């Protein structure tokens, strides 16, 4: 599973959104389901899935799917698995 597939999996599971709404450009606040409350749910799910931890300053920077992907790669997460 590629990294973006895994991120998609987290978004579809945690937000309950249909697949067509997911895209690298999807941004925090752009859909009702991704709000301040669910943001933390997504972050927690990503942290658990990849066995990593975001710094508090990083958490508010994770405002698009593309930025989440970048941040995960910066933490050494690669396609197919944990950091």
Partner 1 sequence: MSLAARLQAAASAHAGRPALSIGGETLSYAELFAAAERCAARLDAVPAGARVGLLAHRSLDAYVGVLALVLSGRPYVPINPKAPPERQSAIAAAAGCGGWLHDDETADSAQALAAGHGGVALAVDPRADGPRDFTAAAARHAYVMFTSGTTGTPKGVAVRVDNVTAYVDAFAQIAAITSDDRCTQFFDLSFDLSVHDMFVTWEAGACLFAPTEAELIDPVGFANRSGASVWFSVPSAPAMAQRMRRLGPGVLPGLRLALFCGEPLPSSLAKAVAAAAPNAEVWNLYGPTEATIAITAERLDPAAQGMPATVPLGAAYAGCAAVVVDDAGLPVPPGGEGELWLAGPQITDGYINNPAEQAAKFLATTIPGYPHNLWYRSGDLVRNDPIWGLVCQGRLDDQVKISGYRVELLEVEEALRRAAGTGEVAAVPWPLNEGGSAEGLVGFVCATSVDARAIAASCRELLPPYMVPKRVIAVEALPLNANGKIDRKALRQRYLERP
Q: What is the largest CA-CA distance in the chain?
A: 31
| Smallest separation, CB 57 to partner 1 (Å) | 9
Q: How far apart are CA 53 and CA 77, in angstroms?
A: 12
- Side-chain half-sphere exposure of 3, counting CA atoms within 13 A: 20
With contacts defined by CB under 8 A, name the span among 2-10, 35-43, 65-73, 75-83 that binds partner 1.
35-43
Structure tokens at 32: 């009702």
Which of 7, 26, 43, 46 is in the footprint of partner 1 by CB under 8 A?
A: 43
Interface with partner 1 (CB under 8 A): 14-16, 18, 28-29, 32-33, 35-37, 39-41, 43-44, 55-56, 59-60, 63
């Amino acid at each position: 599973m590629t990294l973006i597939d895994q991120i998609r999996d987290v978004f579809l599971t945690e937000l309950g959104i249909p697949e067509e709404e997911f895209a690298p450009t999807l941004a925090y606040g752009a859909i009702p389901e991704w709000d301040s409350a669910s943001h933390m749910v997504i972050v927690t799910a990503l942290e658990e899935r990849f066995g990593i931890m975001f710094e508090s300053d990083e958490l508010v920077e994770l405002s698009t799917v593309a930025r989440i992907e970048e941040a995960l790669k910066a933490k050494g997460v690669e396609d197919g698995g944990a950091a």
